[in-house]
Structure 1
Amino acid sequence: MTISPTELPVLDYLHAQLAGTLTDDQTCQFRYPTAISRTLGIRLKAVLAGRAVVEMDTDPAVHGNQQGTVHGGLLTELADAAIGTAHSTVVGPGESFTSIDLRAVFLRPVWRDTLRAHAYPTHSGRTITHYQCDITRSDGKPVATVVSIVTTLEGERSQRR
C-alpha cells in the first residue's frame, strides 16, 4: 500500500514537528530539519509566522577557533538557520527565498554553552524582508546580533533552489 504525501504549509509542518505529531506522509515545500542543522545539532524551539527560535549546544573542542572559543562562523550559521526558518513560514506555494546580505556583530566570546537564536523581521516588503537575530547564551547574556536581508523569489527565479 502506497501512502500519498500530504503537503502542509510550512508553519503547520513546523508546528507539527515541534509537537511531535508529524506523520510520515506529511511534507512541506522545504526540507526540515535542514542537512546543516542536523549536522551541527541546531534544534527548532519555537516558530510563529515570520519568527523562529533555534538553539544548539556548543563546545570549543568541536566548534572552536584558534583562540579556543566558539568560531564566529558557527554563530553566523546559527543565526542564518533561525532567519531562514522564520522566512520560510511566510513564503507562498511555489516561492523560494535567498539571503542577499548578512552581517554579524559579535558581543562576547562563547565556550561550552547552549546558545539560543531569536529571529524576527524588522521590515517586511513585498519581496524584501529585513531580519534581526539575537543570539544569547544560557545565562541570557547577548553573544551576537546578526542582521540579514532576504528576498522572496517567484516564478522561474524560484525553481531549482
Structure 2
Amino acid sequence: MIEYLRRQLAGTLRPDDRTHVRYPTAISELLGFTITAVGPGQAVVELDADAAVHGNQQGTVHGGLLVELADAAIGTAQSTVLEPGESFTSIDLKATFLRPVWNERLTATAYATHAGRTVSHYLCEITRGDGKPVATVTSAVMTLRGDKADGR
C-alpha cells in the first residue's frame, strides 16, 4: 500500500496499478484534500481552507472539516501499514480545537503513537500556513482481517 501511495505522489502510477483500498477517497476528492507525504504509519494531508466555502455560523472554518481532514490523514497513515486483504476502522476520535481558521493552507500531519497488531493509536496535528497549531486530533484504529475486512 505504501508503495502505491508513493507512486501516486510521484505521479508514476501505471494504468494497471491497483490497490484493495480506495485512493483517492471520494470524500477527500469532494473536499479537495491532497496527500503530500507518506511513510510507515505516517501521512501528511493538506487543504486550502476557505471560510466562504467551508464555514460555520460564526464565519470561521467548520470544526467538522478539521476533524475530517485529520481523519483523512490518520486513515492514510494507517493505510501505509496494511497488508493485502486488510482493512481498518476508527474506533474513537477526539478533537481539541486551538484557534479559529478563516482562509489558510492547512497541513494535517498524522503519525502512530502506538502501532499494535490490532489496535493502533494516532496523533494528528493540524497547522496553518504560519506553522501555528489549529487543532490536535487523536484516534484509535482497529485493523480488520479476513472476513471482517471483506467489503470495507
TM-score by length of 2: 0.99
RMSD of the TM alignment (CA)? Answer: 0.6
Provide the rounded CA distance (Å) in 1 between the counterparts of 2:73 and 2:25: 11
Identity across aligned pairs (percent)? 66
Name the structure 2 match of 1:5. none
Alignment equivalent of 1:85, drawn from 73, 76, 81 = 76
Q: 1 CA distance for matches of 2:50 and 2:116?
A: 38
Match of 2:36 in 1: 45
Which one has the largest radius of gyration?
1
Query: What residue ranges of structure 2 are gaps of 5+ in the alignment?
Result: none
Q: Which has the higher contact order (CA 8 A, sep 6+)?
A: 2
Give TM-score, length-normalised by structure 1: 0.93
Match of 1:137 in 2: 128
Distance 2:85 2:29 in 1: 25
Deviation (angstroms), 1:160: 1.2
For 2:73 and 2:142, how far apart are their aligned partners in 1?
15
CA distance in 2: counterparts of 1:32 and 1:157, whole angstroms: 20
Q: Distance in 2 between matches of 1:147 and 1:14?
A: 23
Choose which of 115, 138, 151 in structure 2 pairs with 1:147: 138
Q: What residue is the counterpart of 1:4 in the other structure?
A: none
Q: Deviations over 1:17-67 (max 9, x none)?
A: 111111111111111110000000000000001100000001111100000
Q: Compute the displacement of 1:11 (Å).
A: 0.6
